[in-house]
């Protein structure tokens, strides 16, 4: 499922293809937090909230590592 999701396949399509009655079953079964994806999400949130783009944050080294 992660490959289909990364390719942009809608969750409902993945769920139906897997034969699941609800999309939540698909998410609970196959969706795992990828540390690099989590880091990218945090970076995007920081950019949105603080108006910073990649490389402009002086606090990057102070952020905790994800998944450790």
Q: Is 38 a domain residue?
A: yes
What's the domain range around 7?
2-62
pLDDT tens-digit series, residues 43-64: 999 999 998 765 554 455 455 6
Given this model, what pLDDT does residue 54 score? 58
With bands split at pLDDT 50, 70 and 90, how would you rate the model's confidence at 1? low
Count of domains forming the chain: 1
Q: Is 67 a domain residue?
A: no
Please tell me the total number of residues recorded for the chain in this structure: 68
Given this model, what pLDDT does residue 18 score? 92
> How many Å apart are CA 64 and CA 16, to the nearest integer?
37
Is residue 49 helix, strand or coil? helix
pLDDT tens-digit series, residues 6-39: 888 999 999 999 999 999 999 888 877 778 888 9
Cβ pair 58, 29 in contact under 8 A: no
What are 34's two structure tokens? Answer: 């990828």
């Amino acid at each position: 499922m992660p490959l289909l999701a990364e390719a942009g396949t809608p969750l409902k399509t993945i769920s139906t293809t897997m034969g699941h009655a609800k999309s939540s079953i698909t998410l609970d079964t196959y969706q795992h937090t990828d540390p690099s994806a989590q880091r990218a999400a945090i970076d995007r949130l920081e950019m949105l909230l603080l108006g910073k783009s990649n490389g402009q944050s002086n606090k990057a080294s102070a952020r905790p590592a994800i998944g450790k």
